[in-house]
Amino acid sequence: MLSDEIKSEIHCGISACPTRRCAILEALQIVQRHHGWVSEERLKAVAEFLGLTVEEVDGVATFYNRIYRKPVGRHIIFVCDSVSCWIMGFENILDHIQKRLGISFGETTSDGRFTLLPIQCLGACEQAPAIMIDGQLYGYLDRDKIEAILGGYE
Amino acid sequence: MERPLTKHITIGGDPLNLAEYEKVGGYEACRKSLRTLTPDNILQLVKDSNLRGRGGAGFPTGLKWSSMPSSQNSPRPRYLIADADEMEPGAFKDRILMEGNPHQLIEGLIICAYTVDTEIGYIFIRSEYTLAAERIRKAIGEAYEKGYLGFNIFGSGFNFELRLHVSSGRYICGEGTALANSIEGNRAVPRHKVPRQTESGLWGMPTLLNNVETLCNIPHIINNGSIWFKNLSKCKDGGTKIFGVSGKVKKPGAWELPMGTTIREILEEHAGGMLDGLKFRGTLPGGASTDFLVEQHLDVPMDYDSVQKAGSRFGTGTMIVLDDHTCPVGMVHNLESFFARESCGWCTPCREGLPWTAKVLKAIEDGKGEPGDIEILEFHIRALGPGRTFCALAPGAMEPLRSALKFFREDFDAHIKEKRCPWS
Ligand SMILES: Cc1cc2nc3c(=O)[nH]c(=O)nc-3n(C[C@H](O)[C@H](O)[C@H](O)COP(=O)(O)O)c2cc1C
Ligand code: SF4
Ligand code: FES
C-alpha cells in the first residue's frame, strides 16, 4: 500500500520526532503528496508502519481540513469565504466558478480536473477576493481574471 | 519615521538572502547577544522596551520570557515556538514579515532561544502560506550552512535546532496549547492553562510561544536599545506595529506605523479613505474576534489600552472595515459561520452554541427572523462569554456579535420586521 519511496520519506520525517505519534501528520501529508488524498487502505498502512492503531491515526486525520479523506481532482481550488472576501464579493466569484465548472463546494468535476473547496481567510485580505489553486495565491479577482486563471490548469 | 520591521521588505519582490541580510546589518544583534550579552542582559532590555505580544493578547513579552523556569534542574529539552498560523480573518501581517524577510524572524528566534535557554525551536506555519514556507525553508538552510543554527553558534557554545512545521489546517491550531497538541500529533484541541506552557508545554517540557511579529522586533531592540524602541511609539507600549486594512477602502494594505497611531490616520491617510460613494460605518480593529468600533471611535489610538478602553480589543492590529452599503447582519453571519466551522468541538457551549448562533443569524439575514431571535443571540453572548468555555475562541466569536447588536441594532430589527435584508 505504501511505496518504498513513501516509506523512506516518512522515515526521514520521523527522525526528528520524539514520538511516533508526532509523525502522523507528516506521514499523512507525504501520502497525500504522492496520491492526492488519503484512502482507508493507505491510512491503515500508515498506522501499521508507525506502529499505531488505525483509530489513533484516523482520529488525527479527521480533525484537519487539509487532510483529504475522499478522492480529489488534479487541482484543488480553495475559495476564501471569510469576512474581508465576503465584503469584497467572493460570492460572485464563487458563483462564477461553480457555473463554469458545474460543481459546488465539496465536489470534483467529472473529468477529474478540479475539486472546489471553501477555505478560511487566506491571509491575503488586502487582495480580496482571493482564491488559492494548488498552493498558488490569486488576489484582486474578478470574473475575467478567473477565466484566464482556470485556463492555466489542465 | 523609522520602519525597522519592514525596512528591507519589498512587497512583490524577493527577500534578502543571508549575505544580503548581513550586508544591511543582519545577524549583528545575534552575534552581539551570543558573544557579549548574558541572557539576563537581554531579558532586561526586552522588559525595558515595553514590547507586548503581537499575537492578539498583548502579553508583555519580557514578562512572558521571565516566566520560563530557570535552567538549573530544568527538564530538557526546552522548546521555543514561533506562532505563524495566522488564520484570524482580516490578518495578513505575519505573512508579509515571513515572505519579506525570513532571516529577521530566524535571528529573533535565535536571540530568544539563547535568552530563555531553549535548544529546539519550531516555526509553526499554516499550510496555505506556501510562499512564506518556501522562503523560510531556504533561509533556515542558509543559516545552518553558515553555522548560525546548529552547534556552537558564533563560538558561544550555544546550540539551537530550528524546524519548520507545516500545519494541516484549522484556525484553532494558532491557540498556544492546541498548537502544542498539533505538533505532538494529536487532534488540536486546547489544553488546561495550568500549569502554564512555560512550565509544561510540548511533551511536558518548558515551552515558550511567541507570535512572528513579536519575535521580529527582537533584533532591533538589541541593536538600538530599549529607549530607542520606546521612542518609536506614540504611547507607552514600545515599538512600531504592522497595521492592516481590508474592506471597501481605496488602498487596502498594510503599513508599519508607530504603535498608537489613530484609527483615523490609518484609514484616511494610509488606506486612502473609503471607496467613492461609500461611507465608513464601523470596523473590527484587531481582526474577526474583536468588537466593532464606530465613527465616534475614529480618533482612538491603536494601542492595547486605548482600544480596550474604547470597548474593543487591539488583537492583531489588522482592521476590517464595514461600509454603509454592506449589511452588518450579513457580515456578522459570515463571521459566526467561520467560528462555528472552526470550533474544535471540545467543549459544549462552543460546539453547540456557535452553529446555533450562525443559524439564527442566517434566518434573520434571509428574512425569516422572528421576534425572539435577538434574545437567543443575547443568551449566547452570555453563555459563550469569558470563563464559560474551555478556550478563548468562543468568547472572541461573541465580540463582533455583541457590539453589532449594540451599534447596529436597528439593522437587525429592520430585517425581522420587513422580513427581508434591506440591502439585497
Ligand atoms: C483561537 C485562537 C487562535 C489563535 N491564533 C493565533 C495565530 O494564528 N497566531 C498567533 O500568533 N497567535 C494566535 N493566537 C494567540 C496565541 O494563543 C498566543 O496568545 C500568542 O501567539 C502569543 O504570542 P505573543 O505573546 O507573542 O503575542 C490565537 C489564540 C486563539 C484563542
Ligand atoms: S471554546 Fe470552542 S474552540 Fe475552544 S475548546 Fe471549546 S470547543 Fe474548542
Ligand atoms: S478574508 Fe479572504 S483572504 Fe482574508
Nearest Cα neighbor of A128 from A96, A87, A91 is A87
Closest Cα to residue B313, out of B324, B325, B302, B299? Answer: B302
pLDDT band at B95 (very low <50, low <70, confident <90, very high): very high
**ipTM, interface predicted TM-score of the complex:** 0.97
B392, amino acid identity: A
pLDDT band at residue A57, thresholds of 50, 70 and 90?
very high
Question: Is residue B327 very low, low, confident or very high in pLDDT (cuts 50, 70, 90)?
Answer: very high
Predicted local distance difference test score (pLDDT) of residue B135: 98
Confirm or reject: Cβ of B389 under 6 Å from ligand 2: yes
CB atoms within 10 A of CB A110: 10
Cell numbers at B155, concatenated: 563560538
B318 neighbourhood in chain A, CB within 8 Å: 125
Residue that the C-alpha cell 505580544 belongs to: B53
Quote the pLDDT of residue B89.
98
A75-80, strands of its sheet edge to edge: A114-119, A75-80, A131-133, A136-138
As a CATH number, domain B240-323 is: 3.10.20.600
Q: What is the pLDDT of residue B99?
A: 98
What is the overall mean pLDDT for chain B?
97
Partner B contacted by A94 (CB < 8 A): no
CATH class of B18-231: alpha beta
Question: Which residue in A has a C-alpha nearest to residue B271's C-alpha?
Answer: A126
Q: What average pLDDT does the structure give for chain A?
A: 95
Judged by CB atoms closer than 8 Å, whether chains meet at B88 and A18 is answered as no
Whether the bond between B386 and the residue before it is cis, its omega within 30 degrees of 0, is no
> Is the CB of residue A11 less than 8 Å from the CB of residue A44?
no
- Residue-wise over B366-377: b if at least 16 C-beta within 10 A, else e? beebeeebbeeb
Chain B residues within an 8 Å CB radius of A15 = none
Contact B218, B28 (CB under 8 A): no
Pocket probe mutation, ligand 2, options B170, B350, B357, max atoms within 8 Å of Cβ: B350
Q: State whether B322 and A87 contact (CB < 8 Å).
A: yes
Please report, for residues A59, B83, B243, the alpha-carbon distance to residue B197 in angstroms, rounded to integers and kept in the order given.
24, 14, 29
Q: What is the DSSP string of B182-204?
A: HHTTS------SSS-TTTS-GGG
Position A16 scores a pLDDT of 80
From the candidates A38, A121, A131, which should be mutated to test the interface with B, based on the most B CB atoms within 10 A?
A121
Q: Which tens digit of pLDDT belongs to each residue from B253-303? A: 999 999 999 999 999 999 999 999 999 999 999 999 999 999 999 999 999
Distance B92 CA to ligand 3 centre (A): 9
Omega cis (within 30) before B195: yes
| pLDDT of A15 | 81
- Which residues in chain A have their CB less than 8 angstroms from residue B95's CB? 123-124
Q: Where are the domains of chain B?
A: 18-231, 240-323, 328-418
Please report residues of B whose CB lies closer than 8 A to that of A67.
168-169
Asked whether this chain's domains B18-231 and B328-418 adopt the same fold, the reply is: no
* pLDDT tens per residue across span A65-122: 999 999 999 999 999 999 999 999 999 999 999 999 999 999 999 999 999 999 999 9
* pLDDT of B1: 85
Question: Which residue has 511505496 as its cell numbers?
Answer: A3
Nearest to A83 among B95, B288, B342 (CB): B288
pLDDT in tens, B25-72: 999 999 999 999 999 999 999 999 999 999 999 999 999 999 999 999
% of chain B exceeding 70 in pLDDT: 100
Determine if ligand 2 sits within 6 Å of the CB of residue B97.
no
Are the C-beta atoms of residues B288 and B247 closer than 8 Å to each other? no
- What's A146's DSSP letter? H
Tell me which amino acid residue B65 is.
Answer: W
Q: For position A12, what pLDDT does the model report?
A: 86
Tell me which of 3.40.50.10680, 1.20.1440.230, 3.50.50.60, 1.10.3720.10 is the CATH number of domain B328-418: 1.20.1440.230
Q: Which mutation among B85, B87, B172, B193 tests ligand 2's pocket best, with the greatest number of atoms within 8 A of CB?
A: B172
Interchain pair A28, B183: CB under 8 A: no
Residue A1: per-residue pLDDT? 82
**Contact predicate B272/B278, CB 8 Å:** no
What is the C-alpha separation between B177 and B389, in angstroms, rounded? 15
Sequence-ordered list of residues with C-beta below 8 angstroms from that of A120, at least 6 positions apart, any chain:
A80, A81, A82, B87, B89, B171, B338, B341, B342
**B384 in Cβ contact with B354 (< 8 Å):** yes
